[in-house]
């Protein structure tokens, strides 16, 4: 078995070899600019981009014209939040979001507050899901957007998306969903879920880094955005800039593979995740953080009683790659704000690890991880008890 074992697939995923094979010709042979419409190099690039747009749209049941390519989910989130805030300023200035959103959402909301936005940050219950009654109470006549993520990046908890969407439609409010962790892992249908805007990222689904997309609903209701990048009017005037053709091609192929393999893969990963989780929870005082019922199939977040997560990771991190939270906040020394929002103490939050299984995770690797982590937990507990 090859070491180290990678169990941090929420942070990023390896590029699937099938995706890489699809991308390679667009670096050397088909290197044209998709906006060059006067010769065959540009036509080939444009055709590849439009094929990828169709592949993305098919995965989330959208129309290809509703897909806007960006540099990643963070840019998509900025375009959605800032674009809606500026475009709908005459209607209102109130945004509702959640305390456990990705930093790209929270930091963008903080930025908008400086520009006059009023933002309600909904708390979550102990299971990590919002209280729908609290959401409904928070809606005002000036509310223009509800921004709630599909599934959390740290604990894998899936929010009640259809119920949130129903409130949004009832009050004539747009609904934006950060779905970077959910798309390709569980079924996401923008029509059935009644989502107005949705962000997604290639590198979370075995595509390349540096490319993402934003779904922008074009009817019932038609969503309009103020562009945040100007210069050339690319992507239907929503996002100017030369398109990353190889990245987009890879993104499209990654979506196609997810459509074909997601159902079977979800079952396989859930079984492996449950095996890992059950074995580790049997150790002394290990707890699952967040909902066990409503969550992604490949994720578990565990608290290890009184053992600091960093200390535990140091005991096996040459051979097993996991994380103590979001990759976007890994440089911070404070406890995870997501776990704190669940009501966990600083001690328990600091004793938590996130495990993200993926397409290339094997049962042999899970068995190895169980053995190594269990051994080190017992060793560290012995050291603590002898102090």
Per-state percent for the chain, helix, strand, coil, to nearest 5? 45, 15, 40
Partners of 300 in beta bridges: 355
Would residue 84 be called left, alpha or beta, if left means φ above 0 and alpha means ψ between -120 and 50 degrees?
Answer: alpha
Residue 98 designated active-site: no
Question: By CB neighbour count within 10 A (0-12 exposed, 13-18 middle, 19+ buried), where does 205 fall?
Answer: buried
Q: Which tokens hold the place of 23?
A: 């991308």
Contacts for 109 with CB less than 8 Å, ≥ 6 apart? 81, 95, 97, 117, 119, 121, 147
Cβ(132)–Cβ(160) under 8 Å? Answer: yes
Strand pairing report for 67-70 and 94-98: unpaired
Per annotation, catalytic residue among 109, 255, 258, 328: 328
Q: Comparing C-alpha atoms, which of 85, 220, 98 is closest to residue 147?
A: 98
Q: Which tokens hold the place of 225?
A: 């955005």
CA–CA dist 144, 162 (Å, integer): 18
CA–CA dist 382, 387 (Å, integer): 9
Q: Which tokens hold the place of 346?
A: 């600083």
> Which residues are catalytically annotated?
328
């Amino acid at each position: 078995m090859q070491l180290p074992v990678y169990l941090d697939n929420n942070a990023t995923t390896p590029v699937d070899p099938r995706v890489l094979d699809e991308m390679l010709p667009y670096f050397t042979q088909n290197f044209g600019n998709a906006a060059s419409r006067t010769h065959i190099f540009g036509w080939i690039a444009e055709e590849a981009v439009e094929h990828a747009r169709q592949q993305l749209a098919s995965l989330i049941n959208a129309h290809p014209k509703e897909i806007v390519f960006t540099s990643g989910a963070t840019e998509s989130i900025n375009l959605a939040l800032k674009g809606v805030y500026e475009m709908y300023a005459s209607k209102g200035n109130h945004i509702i979001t959640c305390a456990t959103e990705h930093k790209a959402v929270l930091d963008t909301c903080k930025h908008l507050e400086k520009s006059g936005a009023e933002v309600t940050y909904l708390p979550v219950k102990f299971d990590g899901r919002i209280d729908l009654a609290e959401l409904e109470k928070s809606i005002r006549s000036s509310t223009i957007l509800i921004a709630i993520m599909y599934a959390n990046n740290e604990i894998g908890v899936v929010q009640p998306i259809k119920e949130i969407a129903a409130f949004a439609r009832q009050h004539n409010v747009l609904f934006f969903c950060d779905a970077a962790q959910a798309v390709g892992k569980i079924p996401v249908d923008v029509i059935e879920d009644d989502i107005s805007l949705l962000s997604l990222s290639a590198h979370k689904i075995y595509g390349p880094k540096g490319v993402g997309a934003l779904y922008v609903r074009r009817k019932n209701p038609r969503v309009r955005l103020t562009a945040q990048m100007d210069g050339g009017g690319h992507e239907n005037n929503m996002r100017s800039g030369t398109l990353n053709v190889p990245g987009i091609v890879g993104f499209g192929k990654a979506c196609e593979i997810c459509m074909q393999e997601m159902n079977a893969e979800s079952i396989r990963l859930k079984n492996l995740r449950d095996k890992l989780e059950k074995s580790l929870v049997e150790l002394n005082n290990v707890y699952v953080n967040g909902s066990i019922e409503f969550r992604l199939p490949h994720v578990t977040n565990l608290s290890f009683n009184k053992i600091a997560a960093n200390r535990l990771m140091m005991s096996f991190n040459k051979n097993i790659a996991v994380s103590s939270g979001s990759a976007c906040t890994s440089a911070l020394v404070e406890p995870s704000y997501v776990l704190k929002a669940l009501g966990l103490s600083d001690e328990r939050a600091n004793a938590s690890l996130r495990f993200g299984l993926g397409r290339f995770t094997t049962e042999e690797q899970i068995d190895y991880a169980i053995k190594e982590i269990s051994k080190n937990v017992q060793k560290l507990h012995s050291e603590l008890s002898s102090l």
